[in-house]
Amino acid sequence: MVKILNERYLTLAEVREILEKKEREGELSDIEQITLDYVKKFSKVKAIEAAKLVEKLVNEYGIDKEIAIQVVNIMPGSLEELRSILSTSRKFVSTEEAESILNLLKEFSEEKR
């Protein structure tokens, strides 16, 4: 039986980094390989950038960490997409703040190129 020592939320980029490191050290299980293929396809920023983005969303905009991680995972490109993600949060974000968040996401998205 596996004993869970701790638990935390991760962005897709962080999962990708962990699995790529494990892949370099040895062979991945089937489920790990499938997961790695998935996160390679859908992660939109590097792990370090994802962590910075989550931190900014939590500290500067007061968004719950779990929601901030989903925002970073999805990297919405419109107010409607962002509001859809934020609608599960108890935090109200004004249109001005939402536009500021979108600009922040766009900056990080462009840095990846």
pLDDT in tens, 55-107: 999 999 999 999 999 999 999 999 999 999 999 887 788 999 999 999 999 99
Task: Give the model's pLDDT for residue 112.
Answer: 55
> How does pLDDT run across 18-53, given as a tens digit for each residue?
999 999 999 999 999 999 999 999 999 999 999 999
pTM over 0.85: yes
Report the chain's mean pLDDT, rounded to a whole number.
92
Three-state SS sequence of 39-77: HHHHCCCCHHHHHHHHHHHHHHHCCCHHHHHHHHHHCCC
Please give the CATH topology (third level) of the domain spanning 47-111: DNA polymerase; domain 1 (1.10.150)
- Domains of the chain, by residue range, sit at 12-42, 47-111
pLDDT at 110 over 70: no
